[in-house]
Amino acid sequence: MVPRGTKASMTDTPRVMQSGMVDFIIGKNRKRFWIHSALAGYIPKKILDRPVNDEMDEVDFGRCCEFAYCGNYSVPLPISRLHQDGKVEPTRTPRKRWNPTYLSNNIFYTTSIGDYKAHLVEQLGLSTWDRNERDGLTDPANDYTEVFLVHARMHRVAHQTDWTLRRDLSLYRLTWLLENFTLSDDRAGNIVSLLRFVFVESEPMKDIRKLLCDYATWNVEVLMRDVEFQKLLDAVPSLEKVIFRSMWM
């Protein structure tokens, strides 16, 4: 199943494949991409204009093409740290958590998260995720940094090009991941990398910033034990201010 209005119906596959090709020049290395002309209209015209097409990562654009063809995009598998160094890490006992359950305005509040995702599903016309993303969400040995960053980069492309369906899809998939991701001290860096990309390396993007501020607030007692998170708050005082204020809402 694909989002409404994302691409041609699967019954139109022969027409798509016979429609001829158009090319796109993308990235600093000016790499040429080819896509069937029947689907080219599903890629926002802003992607063709500078500076977006010059600055866009070639892999990100490849995922844009993937979205045009199949209504979704792929992400890498999480990285197992056990495979990187050959060491078996001890089982970690989660520390005692603070109780944020009075924060009824937070996206991750027990009843709010369902309504938030339902709204995105209504916009998309479906609910979807990558089965590969679900394996290892609770395993502290799995590093999800790059998985999170792919969704954030896709959201930024959608934001830059007014690609509404793509924006909602990336937001939905990231929300689902964060909701089910088991956060512990040794996985805080996964979240810090995501926060740094959104709040330092990207232009202001309201929806994803709101999502991540609420997530950071919901999990602040874990994140505050991470040195890199503390450095991030020093570098982005506005993030610290929003988190602090939302803790008492």
- Gap between the Cα atoms of 35 and 207, Å rounded: 30
- How does pLDDT run along the chain (249 residues), one tens digit per residue? 344 444 444 346 666 666 788 888 888 888 888 888 888 778 888 877 777 778 888 898 888 888 888 888 888 888 887 655 555 555 555 555 667 778 888 999 988 999 999 999 888 886 665 666 666 788 888 999 999 999 999 999 999 999 999 899 999 999 999 999 999 999 999 999 999 999 999 999 999 999 999 999 999 999 999 999 999 999 999 999 999 988 876
The CA–CA distances, whole Å, from 149 to 11, 112, 119, 190, 198 equal 34, 24, 23, 9, 9
